[in-house]
Amino acid sequence: MLNKTPLAQLHQTMGGKMVDFGGWWMPVNYGSQIEEHKAVRTTAGMFDVSHMTIVDVHGEQAQAFLRYLLANDVAKLTEQGKALYTGMLNEQGGVIDDLIVYLMPLGYRLVVNCATREKDLAWMNQQAQKFDVQITERPELAMVAIQGPQARQKVSEVLSADAAALASLGVFYGIGLSGERSDWFAARTGYTGEDGFEIMVPATDVCAFWQQLADAGVQPCGLGARDTLRLEAGMNLYGHEMDDNTSPLVANMGWTIAWEPASRDFIGRSAIAQEKANGVQFRLVGLVMRSRGVLREGYEVVVPHSEVRGVITSGTFSPSLGVSIAIARVPVGEVTSAEVIIRGKNTSVDVVKPNFVRNGEALV
């Protein structure tokens, strides 16, 4: 029996091609993944991301708990609604999950991945035993991401009562909406490399909201386009670029580790400090293949400076660039080209920063 979001029926009615997506019945596309991808790069598209898990952390020691639980430091969150991206590590320094945490009026709100929901909650509850905190999942909230150069304008049309507040909302900030929408929370975040919002909406309101956005000309998009968009933007996907056995240091997540203050102990700190002291062996790079074909996850990468082979962690055809791109984990060292073994044949690729397209502009 597959899990369904409150929008599942509406997706099907609107022509979504529904598939089993990690145990959830979700639209992979609405006809053409490439068309949906391009809508997000040029106008506005929307995604049902209600399968993601929203967790509120409240209580006297909420801050102390999260400063211990997370590699980034929630003490940096000094303004209401400010968001922070972070890894949640295990004792060995592997990434249990990557997540966003918001400072809320009554504590913190975390948005974690759907595929990792059970282990995340188990881990958080286990670690919380030493703290005076309450951990509350919010399954009654659905979530819609509206992304693209026109996304903010379209959302403001639909949520006109809050248009002024939404217009002045800074990047990586969230805000509670007003009046009858006081349970809603809109954040200027996303997973596409475009401007836009991710909006948490009570399940009872989400179908009407989705319909209003569609009527305003926002393209419904499946999770297929979400993956090609995040890959072009060079964003990590849990289970691909990192997992329980991968340290944030080899997943280009070094910037999310708050080493200062040195007195703050967080789970995994000693393990990754040791790894850093010994010298990090791998890093993530971007690959661009100018010839025909598509780079796929798992293909091996031959680099000129090392005997050790790298591996593609995510690969796809880039609808924006018209060529194939990938994120790969390779031995550290400066290189500008490499070879990927595709069905037994070595094919030359460019090595670039893992950041291919931002705000509609090609970066490679």
Partner 1 sequence: MSEVRAELKYLESHEWARIEADGTVTIGITDHAQAALGDVVFVEVPELGSEVTAGSEAGVVESVKAASDIYSPVSGEVIAINEALEDAPETVNSSPYDDGWFFKVKPSALEELDNALDAEAYQEAIGE
Q: Which residues bind partner 1 (CB under 8 A)?
A: 28-29, 32-34, 224, 228, 292-294, 296, 316-317, 319, 343
**Least distance (Å) from partner 1 to the CB of residue 328?**
17
Alpha-carbon distances, residue 197 vs 31, 202, 277, 280 (angstroms): 24, 16, 39, 35
Q: How many CA atoms lie within 13 A of 224 on its CB side?
A: 22
**Least distance (Å) from partner 1 to the CB of residue 317?**
4
Residue with smaller CB distance to partner 1, 245 or 291:
291
Cβ–Cβ < 8 Å for 298, 271: no
Residue with smaller CB distance to partner 1, 56 or 232:
232
**Least distance (Å) from partner 1 to the CB of residue 68?**
40
Listing DSSP states for 220-267 in one string gives E--HHHHHHHHHHTT---BTTTB-TTS-GGGTT-GGG----STT---T
Alpha-carbon distances, residue 216 vs 20, 103, 334 (angstroms): 29, 31, 47
Residue with smaller CB distance to partner 1, 19 or 64:
19
Residue with smaller CB distance to partner 1, 32 or 90:
32
**Least distance (Å) from partner 1 to the CB of residue 297?**
11
**Least distance (Å) from partner 1 to the CB of residue 353?**
23
User: Pairing mode, if any, of strands 219-220 and 45-48?
Assistant: parallel
User: What's the DSSP call for residue 170?
Assistant: P
**Least distance (Å) from partner 1 to the CB of residue 347?**
13
End-to-end CA distance of the chain: 43
* Sequence letter at residue 92: Q
Residue with smaller CB distance to partner 1, 34 or 280:
34
Give me the residue label for tokens 């507040």.
165
Nearest of 250, 249, 155, 165 to residue 194 by alpha carbon: 155
Residue with smaller CB distance to partner 1, 248 or 315:
315
**H/E run at residue 214:** helix 203-215
Residue with smaller CB distance to partner 1, 244 or 297:
297
Q: Which two tokens stand for residue 27?
A: 């639209």
Residue with smaller CB distance to partner 1, 265 or 292:
292
**Least distance (Å) from partner 1 to the CB of residue 290?**
13
Cβ–Cβ < 8 Å for 119, 48: no
**Least distance (Å) from partner 1 to the CB of residue 90?**
32
